[in-house]
Each structure stands twice: as C-alpha cells, then as structure tokens.
Amino acid sequence: MCKLCAGETLTNVSHGNDVCIFKITDISEKKRIMQICDQAFPNPVLERPNFDALFAKLDHYAEFLAVFMQQTAIGYICFYANDQEGRTAYISLLAVDPIYQGMRAGSALLRACIRHAAEGGMQCIRLEVNQNNKKAIAFYERHGFVKENDTGSDSYYMICTLTGPVDNQ
C-alpha cells in the first residue's frame, strides 16, 4: 500500500516524490476523476454531446491512469496502446485539475503513458490537439511530440517516436 495515496485497491503504476500514478478500472472512479479535472478542457469532456459513447469506448479499450497527490486525484490520462499491427499508441485525453497545473503532474502522467506504450511494443504515440490550445501544444512539444499535420479542422495531429528508455523530464 502506498503511504502517499493509500491506494490499496488500485494498481500502482509509479511513484514520484509527491505523487503516485495508478491504473483505474472502476467505472464510477473514472467518471469521478474526469469530473474533477473537466475544467482543464476549453470544451469540457463531460458536457460533450458524444460523452456517453466516448466514455464507453474509453472504458472498454483504453488505459486510464490517474495521478494522486496526498490521496487526492488531480489528473488523468486515457490512451490506447493496443495497435499491435501499426505499433502506434494514441492519447485520447490528458487533464490535470487547473489548481494543480504547473506541478509536473501532467508530465508524470505522460511519462507513465510513454513507458506503458514502449513496454507494450508501441513505436510511436499520436494525439490530436486543438490548434488554439497553445499551452497544450507547448507541453507536448517539450515532451518530444512534433506536429504531424493538421486535421483539416481546428486541430493538429502530433506524434512522438519512442526510442530508447524514457527519461525523467
């Protein structure tokens, strides 16, 4: 059991100095954590018309990791790392409660995702980000993602090639 987050019912993924990351499998816990962090998005996820379908897909196919600080959920990442043919992982959602942004919780989540994808044989990770979300674009670029192309709408695809061990940026 983790003394920082008392996560005896959760699968521990990694520990940092002040945070712990766990794989979340409980549906109600996923929704609770998403609600805590929803204000991190310009267009809140829980208010999107397709939320129920999106959540069903995430719950069934995606990995859901949450970061905790002193027993409080402060962020999460949802990603797919199951494309064994193309060896490409895909990040669907990454959010940190705005109160805790700037404390490297997002970086910890992203590193855990990259590590998980690499261990699963993935060769790269892709994501889609709104072109107007300059803060998110800069965050991903600091972690090795590059703009791949635009989607023809209001977002970019970004990609990170997984080579070698994951560092501790």
The owner of tokens 């709104």 is 130
How would you label 5-39 residue by residue, b for 16+ Cβ within 10 Å and e otherwise?
Answer: bebeebeebbebeebbbbebeeeebbeebbebbee
Instruction: Give CATH superfamily name and number for 11-161.
Output: Gcn5-related N-acetyltransferase (GNAT) (3.40.630.30)
Whether this prediction's pTM lies above 0.95 is answered by no
Domain ranges of the chain: 11-161
Question: What residue ranges of the chain have pLDDT lower than 70?
Answer: 1-18, 150-152, 164-169
Largest CA distance in the chain: 47
pLDDT tens readout for residues 1-17: 444 444 433 344 444 55
In this prediction, residue 56 carries a pLDDT of: 95
Q: What confidence score (pLDDT) does residue 6 get?
A: 43
